[in-house]
């Protein structure tokens, strides 16, 4: 599998077509996505907004290959990826996709630096290169002096920035952010959004941002609103 272009036209977009997904809850099948199509382009922030339970997080996890859709297609770099085997999906998550979650999800036993370098070490980067790159990312995100601090000793905003640094460690093409500001105050929320915007433009990232925050969603380059498993606009 080649998500970096190969013989395909290079578009670095993340596209879904007619994506459907359902969960079985207490023996009843619940349709969460009912044929969603959208495209996230490089150097842009694409926001997906909507009420709780409308399926926006589910859509994000499907786009990030954390789950498999019931039907529909997912394209990365115009390569169809929804049916990839587990090994290729795992590799794609490591090399091409970065995730940022609402609760930052750092591994609390590790320091900020160790959290950031995890994806690099997993992809086979040697330790000194991984450290150098991770420290560079932490510096860029204003955490220069906190790289050796245990994750649990960082503030909420700092932890979210470490999570963003980790998501960028392997220079992914796609950054998928699920309510990244949901747990932050307005000042920190603005800071994180600015950071994502800056990263998208400087690193040619396709950023997909799932958020409740109408204000932030409105600032995205492309904006989708979901309701009941469907894209409304």
Residues that bind another protein (CB under 8 A): 57-58, 61, 64, 66-67, 86-87, 90-91, 93-95, 99, 101-103, 105-110, 118-119, 121-123, 166, 170, 178-179
Q: Which residues contact 99 (CB under 8 A, 6 or more apart)?
A: 64, 66, 93, 167, 175, 176, 177, 178
Q: What is the rounded distance in angstroms from the CA atom of residue 144 to the CA atom of residue 46?
A: 29
User: Residue 109 Cβ, how far from another protein at the closest point, in Å?
Assistant: 4
C-beta of 67 vs 214, nearer to another protein: 67
Quote the least distance from Cβ 9 to another protein, whole Å.
26
Smallest separation (angstroms) from another protein to the CB of 42? 21
Quick one: 55 or 191, whose CB is closer to another protein?
A: 55
What 22-29 contacts at long range (C-beta under 8 Å, 24+ apart), as own/partner pairs, is 22/70
Name the residue nearer to another protein (CB basis): 45 or 116.
116
Q: State the nearest-atom distance from the C-beta of 23 to another protein, in Å.
A: 9
CB atoms within 10 A of CB 50: 23
Q: Are strands 14-25 and 71-76 parallel, antiparallel or unpaired?
A: antiparallel
Torsion over CA of 89, 90, 95 and 99, rounded to 10 degrees? Answer: 90
Q: Which is nearer to another protein, 45 or 120 (CB)?
A: 120
From the CB of 122, what's the least distance to another protein, in Å? 5
CA 47-136-118 angle, to 5 degrees, is 75
**Closest approach of Cβ 218 to another protein, in Å?**
22
Contact indicator for 200, 170 with CB cutoff of 8 Å? no
- Residue 94 or residue 147: which is nearer to another protein going by CB? 94
What is Dmax (Cα atoms) for the chain? Answer: 51
- 10 Å CB burial of residue 195 (0-12, 13-18, 19+) is buried
Contact 116, 134 (CB under 8 A): yes
CB of 38 or CB of 106, closer to another protein:
106
Cβ 177 to another protein shortest distance, Å: 12
CA neighbor of 60 nearest in space, from 28, 97, 23, 30: 97
């Amino acid at each position: 599998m080649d998500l970096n272009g190969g013989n395909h036209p290079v578009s670095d977009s993340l596209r879904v077509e007619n994506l459907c997904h359902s969960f079985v809850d207490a023996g009843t099948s619940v349709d969460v996505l009912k044929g969603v199509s959208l495209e996230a382009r490089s150097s842009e922030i694409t926001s997906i907004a909507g009420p709780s339970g409308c399926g926006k997080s589910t859509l994000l996890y499907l786009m990030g290959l954390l789950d498999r859709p019931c039907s529909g297609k997912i394209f990365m770099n115009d390569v169809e990826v929804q049916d990839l085997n587990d090994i290729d999906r795992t590799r794609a998550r490591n090399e091409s996709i970065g995730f940022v979650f609402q609760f930052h999800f750092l591994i609390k036993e590790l320091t900020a630096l160790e959290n950031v370098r995890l994806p690099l070490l997993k992809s086979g980067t040697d330790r000194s290169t991984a450290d150098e790159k991770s420290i560079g990312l932490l510096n860029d995100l204003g955490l220069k002096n906190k790289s050796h601090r245990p994750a649990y000793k960082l503030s909420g905003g700092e932890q979210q920035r470490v999570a963003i640094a980790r998501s960028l460690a392997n220079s992914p093409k796609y950054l998928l952010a699920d309510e990244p500001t949901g747990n932050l105050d307005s000042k920190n929320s603005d800071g994180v959004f600015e950071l994502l915007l800056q990263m998208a433009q400087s690193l040619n990232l396709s950023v997909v941002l799932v958020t409740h925050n109408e204000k932030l969603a409105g600032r995205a380059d492309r904006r989708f609103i979901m309701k009941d498993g469907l894209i409304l606009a």
